[in-house]
Structure 1
Amino acid sequence: YDSTFIRAPFDGIVSDIFVEVGEYLVPGTPVYDIFSNNSLYVTARFDEMDAARMATSMKVRLKSDALPGRIIEGKVSWISPVVSTDVKASRGVEVHFELSGAEPDMRVGMTLEAEVVVNRKESVKYLPSAVILGKYGEKYVFIVDGNIIRKRVVETGLANWERTEILSGVSESDKVVIPLSSEELKDGMRINRKTLRRSTRF
Structure 2
Amino acid sequence: MRPAVRWSLIAGAVVVAGVALRATVFRDAGIEVETARVSRGAVEDAVTNSEAGTVRARERARLAPALGGRVIAIPKREGATFRAGELLVQLDADAARLRRDLARRDLEAARHAVAQARAAAALARRDWDRVAALEPQGLVSAGELDAARARRDEAEAALRAAEAREASARSALELADHALRDLRVVAPFDGVVSQRFVEVGETLAPGQPALEVLNPRRLYVSAPLDEMDIARVRVGLPARVTLDPYPGRAWQGTVSRVAPFVNDVVQQNRTLEIEVELALDPAGPLPKPGTSADVEVILDRHDGVLRVPTFAVIEGRRVLVVQNGRAVARDVEVGLRNWEWTEIARGVREGEIVVTSLDRAGVKPGAAVRPAAGGAPADTAKAAAGAR
TM-score category (smaller protein):
0.5 to 0.7
Output the amino acid matched with 1:120: R
2:225 to 35, 46, 69: 46
Output the amino acid matched with 1:70: R
SS of residue in 2 equivalent to 1:197? coil
CA contact (8 A) 1:61 1:71 kept: yes
The aligned runs of 1:1-202 (5 Å cut-off) are 2-4=69-71, 12-15=191-194, 34-87=213-266, 90-101=269-280, 104-121=285-302, 124-129=305-310, 131-132=311-312, 138-139=315-316, 141-149=319-327, 156-160=334-338, 163-167=341-345, 170-172=347-349, 174-179=352-357, 183-184=359-360, 186-188=362-364, 190-192=368-370, 194=372, 197-198=375-376
SS of residue in 1 equivalent to 2:299? coil
Output the amino acid matched with 1:110: T
Q: TM-score, normalised by structure 2?
A: 0.39
The Cα offsets for residues 158-187 of structure 1, whole Å up to 9 and x where unpaired, read as: 23465321246x4217421244xx744652
The Cα offsets for residues 63-109 of structure 1, whole Å up to 9 and x where unpaired, read as: 23422332211101000111111229932111100012356431222
Structure 1 CA distance, aligned partners of 2:331 and 2:291? 37
Output the amino acid matched with 2:348: S
Higher RCO, 1 vs 2 (CA within 8 Å, ≥6 residues apart)? 2
Structure 2 CA distance, aligned partners of 1:93 and 1:132? 32
CA contact (8 A) 2:242 2:295 kept: yes
Based on CA coordinates, which of the two structures has the bigger radius of gyration?
Answer: 2
Count of equivalent residues: 195
CA contact (8 A) 1:150 1:187 kept: no
In structure 2, runs of 5+ residues without a counterpart are 1-67, 75-88, 90-184
Q: Percent identity?
A: 32
By percentage of residues, which structure has more helix?
2
Quote the offset at 1:127 in angstroms.
1.6
CA contact (8 A) 1:142 1:187 kept: no
Quote the offset at 1:153 in angstroms.
7.0
Distance 1:46 1:59, change over 3 A: same
Output the amino acid matched with 2:337: A
Output the amino acid matched with 2:227: E
In structure 1, runs of 5+ residues without a counterpart are none
CA root-mean-square deviation: 4.4
Quote the offset at 1:115 in angstroms.
1.9
SS of residue in 1 equivalent to 2:232? coil
